[in-house]
Amino acid sequence: MKKTLLSLSNLTKQFDGKTVLDSLNLDIYDGEFITLLGPSGCGKTTLLRLMAGFEHADAGTITLSGEDLTGTPPEHRPLNTVFQHYALFPHMSVFDNVAYGLKMEKRPKEEIRERVEEALAMVQLQDYMRRKPHQLSGGQQQRVAIARAVVKRPRLLLLDEPLSALDYKLRRTMQVELKRLQRELGITFVFVTHDQEEALSMSDRVVVLKDGVVQQLGTPREVYERPANLFTARFVGETNFFPGEVESIHDGAITVDVFGLKRTLRRPDFPVREGQPLHVLLRPEDIRVLDPADEQGVAGKIVERNYKGSTLDSVIHLDDGTEVLASEFFDEDDPAFDYRLGEPVKVSWVDGWEWLLPEEADEPVHEDALTDA
């Protein structure tokens, strides 16, 4: 069993009568890299601000190693924040920015100098100590912000979309660097992002949030391969939703009718009955595109093909109008592998690679409604 460091229980927060967090419970383990993932307005930033002490919850408690932090002001919480726009003090040098927290602790001058130099060396900025923030690039400012937050050796580091202002390439570099820092420092990281790819690649655990409610809490693999509901499935990665209907139920398996195909699939965790409609979820990389002459599979034609370097991504229109996304790796045996538009194909998948979800009461009509982030 892992040791809980920060425990949030029944946290509720409203702004102008609108519920942003709805009695949320979450245990954050000591030393883990946990990511709060969700579209804008899902409450992830509010949750982070509650942990930092910048906002006060309407109800609920926050405890750190058993100590109640709920009413503690931010300056007395043993955790630090890396802000989205860095929030470096523009009138101070890099050194003074990083030293600020230690000066507030009234540490001896010599100790401050040593620890600041150490923190700046960790982010490879020891040669920039005398610079002012505006003389640094975005990535360097980001690293100063991280050094400033970790120099106080917090129990917990809160990171509020810290990479969102960086360009793609730099963001990838910083992702790797943050992971390395987290391993070296052994500090618990709470990371907020709306970028699902970032969440999957960096975290030990991911919390998927929507409308202030936890949709799923699990490892990146669980969240991606076994989404708890349609929202998580849609928000994390690309997904094909095939409508299915339960034909018959066996021991540990069910037969499902998908586009007229009878497939025998693993029985899901939720209760099923015969005739029940459900969703068969398939990631684009789970889709097999077959020859139109193949006996199994659903007929359709290629309407789009995108060369992605390592994969060939295609969009297939099934005969009933359903759109299917497929992502296939290039094969060494067939380097010229390609489709032409309008080419007839059949679509299938390997049994066991699908994921089943029940129908939900308040399903949105369009997938687009969820992709606001």
Partner 1 sequence: MPSITRQPFRTAVLVLVWGWLLFLVLAPNLLVVGASVMTRDPGTFISLPLNLDAYRQLFDPLYLEVFLHSLYMAAMTTLVCLLIGYPFAWALSKLGKQRQLLLIFLLIVPFWTNSLVRTYALKMLLATNGLINSALMGLGWIDEPLQMLYTEGAVIIGLVYLLLPFMILPLYSVFDDLRQELLLASHDLGAGRFATFIHVIVPLTLPGVLAGVMLVLLPAMGLFFVPDILGGSRNLLVGNVIKNQFLDARDWPFGAAASIVLTVTMAILMLAHRLSKQRIGEEGAG
Q: Where on the chain is the footprint of partner 1 (CB under 8 A)?
A: 52-54, 73-76, 80-81, 83, 85, 87-91, 100-101, 104-105, 132-135, 148-149, 152
Nearest partner of 31 among 66, 68, 2, 7, judged by Cα: 2
Q: Which is nearer to partner 1, 132 or 171 (CB)?
A: 132
Cβ neighbour number for residue 65 with a 10 Å cutoff: 13
Shortest gap between Cβ of 98 and partner 1 (angstroms)?
A: 10
- Burial readout 151-182 (b: 16 or more C-beta within 10 A, e: otherwise): bbebebbbbbbbbeebeeeebeebbebbeebb
Residue 339: CB minimum distance to partner 1, A: 49
Sign of CA pseudo-dihedral 85, 37, 159, 126: negative
Beta-strand pair 311-318/298-307? antiparallel
Tell me how far, at minimum, the Cβ of 102 lies from partner 1, in Å.
Answer: 9
Q: Which is nearer to partner 1, 92 or 315 (CB)?
A: 92
Q: How far apart are CA 224 and CA 216, in angstroms?
A: 11
Question: Which one, 152 or 263, has the nearer CB to partner 1?
Answer: 152
Region class of 278: left (phi > 0), else alpha (psi between -120 and 50), else beta: beta
In the complex, minimum distance from the CB of residue 75 to partner 1, in angstroms, rounded to a whole number: 5
Q: To the nearest whole angstrom, how small is the minimum distance from the Cβ of residue 65 to partner 1? A: 19
Of 101 and 297, which has the nearer Cβ to partner 1?
101
3-state secondary structure of 215: strand
Q: Which of 297, 281, 285, 298 is nearest to 326 (CA)?
A: 285
Q: How far is the CB of 169 from partner 1 (least distance, A)?
A: 24
Cβ-proximal residues to 188 (8 Å cutoff; 6+ apart), any chain: 5, 6, 28, 29, 30, 31, 32, 33, 34, 155, 156, 157
* Residue 358 Ramachandran class (φ > 0 left, ψ -120 to 50 alpha, else beta): beta
| Residue among 129 and 254 whose Cβ is closer to partner 1 | 129
CB of 83 to partner 1, least distance (A): 5
- In terms of CB distance, is 120 or 149 closer to partner 1? 149
Of 289, 246, 290, the C-alpha closest to 270 is 246
Nearer of residues 162 and 244 to partner 1, judged by Cβ: 162
Q: What tokens appear for 135 in the block? A: 């003389």
- Smaller CB separation from partner 1, 113 or 205: 113
| Distance in Å, CB of 101 to partner 1, minimum | 4
Strands 33-37 and 59-64: unpaired
Q: Which is nearer to partner 1, 47 or 149 (CB)?
A: 149
SS3 of residue 205 by DSSP? strand
**Burial class (CB within 10 angstroms; exposed 0-12, middle 13-18, buried 19+) of 108:** exposed
Our CB check for partner 1 shows the closer of 84 and 229 to be 84
Q: How far is the CB of 131 from partner 1 (least distance, A)?
A: 10
CB of 119 to partner 1, least distance (A): 13
